[in-house]
């Protein structure tokens, strides 16, 4: 027997898949539009929201300070914040976001400063709320500058140089190349997305070609034809693999394009904070290709495992309830790889999904650990082969094919 029969089954399954709206959506539309929507959409939204938040002139309530006109004048002169007079319900106003912060100048502040007594200026805010943080920051910056001025004046008064308080500076400087910086930040996400999309791409055809076939009553039809069950399962497997890979390929492609567009957009807007996005642009074709190559055995593994599980189900719905939890089985190791501090070790390189996810992080950062690449490719291939072997065995079991 030759591969001819596998090819016949594959071609027929491909024809059917291309005529099925659900398959087209899950393998082509979703990966193609997910990244643009996620990255450009959210990116643009975040940039514009942050911009708007920065443009807003936050209201800050001034409490006390009647006997400290200098600091009050200074605060009132600050552009980009609006000082409002004290009211009793200031706490509620902050919580209800009517004002963004409140600054409390203690009684006798100005004279205390003059007499060199220590005081505390309190800034009340809504922690974690972005606009409140901005307002707080502005008030704090002003108060710190004010303090520095006082210190400088005191030093000058005593004829001491500023270095008395600052004997030396501490600075930091990045020496890692920019693509490695962005790799450390974004590599995990890219591997994770490719792995997850490989899975979503394989999921629908895996159900359609097994449980779907049982449900529609064509299983008996195909089993009565002379094709061997191994050729049949291989033909189906290759179609599921094609779907997984095209989903992954399209997602990588659309990811590259979206980051380009995003980089361009944020570049033009000239806003800070988008440096990371433009750094991702340094993803070369070599990186993209190597991420894709590592996704290959993962796609084989997913296709075989999902097909085997879905084969047990009698109906499409039943298959869905078996396969949906599988998403979590995949997401957990993929997310684990994104946790800070989790790095490739010989042991971790044997854990399926997690290993590829970790490796993708390194690949995106431009680091090629060839021994790890070899171990991970080999181990994933072994898992994939085992899964495919089980799938073929399951297809020969009457209790699975004709489960009642």
Binding of residue 42 to other proteins (CB under 8 A): no
Interface region with other proteins, contact rule CB under 8 A, candidates 118-126, 220-228, 249-257, 355-363? 220-228
From the list 117, 149, 216, 317, which residue makes contact with other proteins (rule: CB under 8 A)?
A: 216
Which residues, 6+ apart, have CB-to-CB distance to 160 below 8 Å? none
Question: How far is Cα of residue 396 from the mean position of the Cα atoms in its chain?
Answer: 41
Binding of residue 221 to other proteins (CB under 8 A): yes
Binding of residue 225 to other proteins (CB under 8 A): yes
The tokens for 51 are 């911009």
Binding of residue 156 to other proteins (CB under 8 A): no
Q: Are 122 and 103 in contact (CB under 8 A)?
A: yes
Interface region with other proteins, contact rule CB under 8 A, candidates 211-219, 261-269, 276-284, 353-361? 211-219
Interface region with other proteins, contact rule CB under 8 A, candidates 5-13, 52-60, 328-336, 341-349? 5-13
From the list 218, 321, 327, 345, which residue makes contact with other proteins (rule: CB under 8 A)?
A: 218
Binding of residue 12 to other proteins (CB under 8 A): yes
Segment 17 to 36, residues that bind other proteins, using CB under 8 A: 19-20
From the list 15, 66, 96, 141, which residue makes contact with other proteins (rule: CB under 8 A)?
A: 15
Closer CB to other proteins, residue 42 or residue 402?
A: 402
Q: C-beta of 4: minimal distance to other proteins in Å?
A: 8
**Long-range Cβ pairs for the range 121-124 (8 Å, 24+):** 124/90, 124/91, 124/94
Closer CB to other proteins, residue 20 or residue 275?
A: 20
Bin 145: left if φ > 0, else alpha if -120 < ψ < 50, else beta: alpha
Closer CB to other proteins, residue 186 or residue 312?
A: 312
Closer CB to other proteins, residue 138 or residue 214?
A: 214
Question: How far is Cα of residue 201 from the mean position of the Cα atoms in its chain?
Answer: 19
Closer CB to other proteins, residue 219 or residue 338?
A: 219
Binding of residue 3 to other proteins (CB under 8 A): no
Q: How many CB atoms lie within 10 A of CB 45?
A: 10
In angstroms, the CA 210 to CA 322 distance is 13
Locate all alpha helices (DSSP H) within 316-369, ordered by sequence: 316-336, 354-364
Q: C-beta of 24: minimal distance to other proteins in Å?
A: 12
Binding of residue 230 to other proteins (CB under 8 A): no
Closer CB to other proteins, residue 15 or residue 324?
A: 15
Sign of CA dihedral 368, 371, 377, 379: negative
Binding of residue 220 to other proteins (CB under 8 A): yes
- Structure letter (DSSP) for residue 165: T
Query: Which residues are registered as beta bridge partners of 63?
Result: 104
Sign of CA dihedral 226, 228, 232, 234: negative
Match 């431009």 to its residue by tokens.
Answer: 366
Binding of residue 312 to other proteins (CB under 8 A): no
Q: 131 burial class (0-12, 13-18, 19+ CB within 10 angstroms)? A: middle
The tokens for 291 are 């991420």
User: What does the binding site for other proteins look like in residue numbers (CB under 8 A)?
Assistant: 5, 8-9, 12, 15-16, 19-20, 216-218, 220-221, 223-228, 398, 402
């Amino acid at each position: 027997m030759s591969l001819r029969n596998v090819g016949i089954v594959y071609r027929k399954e491909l024809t059917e898949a291309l005529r099925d709206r659900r398959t087209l959506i899950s393998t082509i539309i979703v990966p193609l539009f997910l990244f643009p929507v996620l990255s450009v959409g959210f990116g643009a939204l975040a940039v514009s929201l942050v911009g708007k938040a920065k443009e807003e002139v936050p209201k800050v309530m001034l409490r006390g300070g009647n006997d400290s006109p200098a600091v009050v004048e200074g605060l009132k002169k600050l552009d980009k914040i609006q000082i409002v007079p004290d009211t009793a319900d200031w706490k509620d106003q902050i919580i209800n976001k009517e004002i963004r912060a409140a600054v409390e100048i203690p009684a006798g502040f100005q004279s205390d400063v003059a007499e060199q007594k220590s005081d505390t200026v309190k800034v009340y805010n809504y922690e974690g709320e972005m606009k409140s943080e901005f307002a707080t920051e502005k008030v704090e910056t002003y108060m710190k500058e004010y303090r520095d001025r006082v210190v400088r004046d005191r030093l000058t008064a005593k004829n001491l140089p500023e270095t008395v308080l600052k004997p030396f500076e501490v600075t930091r400087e990045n020496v890692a190349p920019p693509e490695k910086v962005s790799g450390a930040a974004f590599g995990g996400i890219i591997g994770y997305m490719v792995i997850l999309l490989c899975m979503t791409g394989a999921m629908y055809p895996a159900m359609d070609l097994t449980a779907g076939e049982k449900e529609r009553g064509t299983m008996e039809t195909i089993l009565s034809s002379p094709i061997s069950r191994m050729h049949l399962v291989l033909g189906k497997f290759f179609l599921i693999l094609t779907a997984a890979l095209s989903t992954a390929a399209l997602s990588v492609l659309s990811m590259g394009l979206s980051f380009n567009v995003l980089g361009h957009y944020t570049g033009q807007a000239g806003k800070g904070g988008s440096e990371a996005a433009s750094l991702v642009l340094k993803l070369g074709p070599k990186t993209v290709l190597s991420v894709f190559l590592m996704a290959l055995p993962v796609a084989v593994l997913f296709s075989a495992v999902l097909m085997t599980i879905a084969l047990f189900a009698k109906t499409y719905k039943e298959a869905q309830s078996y396969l949906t939890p599988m998403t979590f089985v995949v997401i957990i190791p993929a997310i684990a790889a994104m946790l800070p501090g989790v790095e490739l070790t010989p042991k971790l390189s044997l854990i399926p999904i997690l290993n590829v996810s970790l490796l993708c992080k390194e690949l995106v950062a431009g680091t090629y650990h060839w021994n790890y690449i070899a171990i991970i490719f080999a181990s994933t291939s072994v898992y994939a082969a085992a899964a495919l072997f089980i799938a073929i065995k399951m297809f020969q079991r009457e209790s699975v094919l004709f489960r009642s």
